[in-house]
Amino acid sequence: MGVLNVTPDSFSDGGKFLATASASHRARAMVEEGADILDVGGESTRPGSEGVSVEEEISRVIPVIQAIVSECSTPVSVDTSKAAVAEAALQAGAKIVNDVSGLSDPGMMDVVRRYQAGLVIMHMKGTPRSMQDAPVYEDVTSEVGSFLSGRVRTAIAAGIAAEQIVVDPGIGFGKTLEHNLTLLQSIGELGAMTGRPVLIGVSRKRFIGMITGRDVQDRLAGSLAAAGFAVLRGARVLRVHDVKESCDVARMIDRLLA
Ligand code: HH2
């Protein structure tokens, strides 16, 4: 899953792909590099960020989704927590909703069900504004796993097909360095608890900087190591900025495991 942030303030690529032409150019490049899904987001979720309005988010993502859908057949996911944005995106041709809030908008499940869309359910503790204020868990794996399996059950009860759902522990979303590492080591357990494939987003994240001492633009090697580890532990989808390099890592590890 290649990341395409159409935002002025995302932590690693903010402001780079705001214009529709540069966003669709980047989308084409990611498909050529091996992306199977293009994840378009119009609201930064970096720690401390403020939300944007429905209108603003729609005005950022919809022209980009329309441009991508008209040019290529690679499925588009929309990275949003708002049912109204998800619906506009699905109407424009997106096929998947990537909800980092784990279905907090009461209207979200109904939208996903009506469009028979794919759904990423992610765990986040708190909100982007507050999530890194000393998050505490008694047992991070069982708390995140219980949350995700509960949301999967609720989504299925609401009429969303199980096969449409993947889960994501939300690396960096209300987690300390230790929590992130524990969750990456527990991908197999999270898959078993939820019965669904696990998606992992580690690309360029702060915990990699904490370990390697590198700034955000210099975290490729750390990101690839974490992505490779996630694949080894059973991750089925990787959300990444560096598609070409991540595909190489995934292909090598898949082959070595086979
Ligand atoms: N991480 C980010 C955004 N969306 N979605 C899923 N499912 N999993 C993730 O780990 C995830 C996500 C944060 O990264 P990025 O999009 O690069 O930054 P920003 O939120 O600042 O736009």
Q: Look at residue 3 in the predicted model and tell me its pLDDT.
A: 98
- Helix (H, G, I), strand (E, B), or coil: what is residue 4? strand
User: Rounded distance, CA 183 to CA 142, Å?
Assistant: 10
Quickly count: other Cβ atoms within 10 Å of residue 18's Cβ.
15
User: Rounded distance, CA 159 to CA 164, Å?
Assistant: 11
Q: Is 43 in the pocket of ligand 1 (CB under 6 A)?
A: no
User: Rounded distance, CA 10 to CA 52, Å?
Assistant: 13
Per the annotation, the verdict on 205 as an active-site residue is yes
* Distances in whole angstroms, Cα of residue 200 to Cα of each of 100, 103, 113, 230: 12, 18, 24, 7
- Helix (H, G, I), strand (E, B), or coil: what is residue 237? strand
Ranges of residues in the chain whose predicted pLDDT is under 50: none
Q: Is 11 in the pocket of ligand 1 (CB under 6 A)?
A: yes
Residue 139 CA to ligand 1 centre (angstroms) = 23
Per the annotation, the verdict on 239 as an active-site residue is yes
Q: Look at residue 10 in the predicted model and tell me its pLDDT.
A: 82
Q: Is 207 in the pocket of ligand 1 (CB under 6 A)?
A: no
Q: Is 6 in the pocket of ligand 1 (CB under 6 A)?
A: no
The residues pairing with 166 across neighbouring beta strands, listed in sequence order, are 120
> Which of 82, 106, 88, 93 is CA-nearest to residue 158?
106
Q: Look at residue 246 in the predicted model and tell me its pLDDT.
A: 98
